[in-house]
């Protein structure tokens, strides 16, 4: 079985108070986009649990022990007595970019395991399991636009369709860990709900109203990220922003942008903001 695990962008992101468990409460809007990893899994008739083979973008953890798919499999194996599996992961979504690639891989992996081994898991149960390995994993189970609160795992679907718009994502070949990003940002107070800003305005109105709290401190440390955002605006983006805690920056356009020419030195992806089926 082969699936394509898509990424996401954040439309605004507010970092609120720090919680007793060490996480921060946040408010953000998740929106799925078409930049994908490829994931294949099949039952391994031998023994040994999970065998992970990675191609594409190299991962720092060669053993795979920190990979969310591996963590998820080991968690599920205890409860469901899963057979051994062979997994091939082709990484195309940059790591440490704020695009949710690892979280998406885990969410799509549990859906594969559910189908392969007829586990009978509901969407709610799959969300419960994947939330144990990553804060934003649960979003990719439904894979539809949603307001995310709590640590990113409390989701409210919203009726948002940007399919008429184009997106360009620019990855500056710089990975920013979540821990590093949170060390740079100061929790703030909630103001107007992001849901109201996103749904009651148009994309062109977001520039001055839809804020990612990580942007200012991340750009201060890594000025190249700010330069990418300004270049997107200068070349016609109606809205441009850091996604998640970075380091990728995206621009939303009425027409397809020429990112290949504009950002030759960086890794880029572009497409329509069409929602997954």
Active site residues: 8, 136
How many other C-beta atoms can be found within 10 angstroms of the C-beta atom of residue 194?
A: 24
Reported as half-sphere exposure (CB side, CA atoms, 13 A), residue 231 has a value of 20
Q: Are 18 and 187 in contact (CB under 8 A)?
A: yes
Q: Taking the alpha carbons of 94, 96, 100, 103 in that order, is the dihedral positive or negative? A: positive
Residues 6+ apart with CB under 8 A from 104: 5, 6, 7, 8, 37, 93, 137, 140
183: left (phi over 0), alpha (psi -120 to 50) or beta: alpha
Q: 84-101 burial by CB neighbour count: b if 16+ within 10 A, else e?
A: ebbbebbbbbbebbbbbb
Burial-class residue 192 by CB neighbours within 10 Å (0-12, 13-18, 19+): exposed
């Amino acid at each position: 079985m082969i699936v394509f695990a898509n990424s996401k962008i954040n439309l605004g992101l507010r970092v609120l108070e720090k919680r007793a468990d060490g996480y921060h409460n946040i408010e953000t809007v998740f929106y799925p986009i078409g930049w994908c990893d490829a994931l294949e899994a099949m039952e391994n008739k031998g023994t040994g649990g999970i065998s992970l083979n990675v191609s594409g973008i190299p991962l720092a953890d060669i053993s795979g022990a920190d990979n969310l798919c591996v963590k998820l499999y080991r968690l599920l194996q205890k409860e469901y007595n899963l057979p051994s599996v062979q997994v091939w992961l082709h990484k195309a979504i940059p790591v440490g970019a704020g695009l949710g690639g690892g979280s998406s891989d885990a969410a799509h992996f549990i859906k594969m395991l559910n189908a392969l081994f007829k586990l009978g898991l509901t969407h709610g149960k799959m969300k419960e399991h994947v939330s144990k390995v990553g804060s934003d994993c649960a979003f990719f189970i439904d894979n539809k636009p949603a307001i995310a609160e709590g640590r990113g795992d409390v989701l409210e679907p919203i009726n948002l369709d940007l399919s008429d718009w184009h997106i360009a994502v620019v990855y500056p070949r710089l990975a920013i860990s979540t821990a590093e990003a949170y060390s740079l940002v100061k929790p703030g107070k909630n103001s107007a709900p992001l849901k109201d800003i996103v749904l009651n305005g148009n994309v062109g109105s977001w520039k001055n109203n839809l804020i990612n709290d990580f942007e200012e401190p991340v750009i201060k440390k890594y000025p190249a990220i700010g330069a990418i955002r300004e270049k997107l605006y200068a070349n016609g983006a109606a809205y441009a922003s850091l996604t998640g805690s970075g380091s990728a920056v995206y621009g939303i356009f009425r027409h397809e942008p020429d990112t290949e020419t504009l950002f030759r030195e960086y890794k880029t992806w572009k497409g329509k903001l069409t929602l997954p089926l």
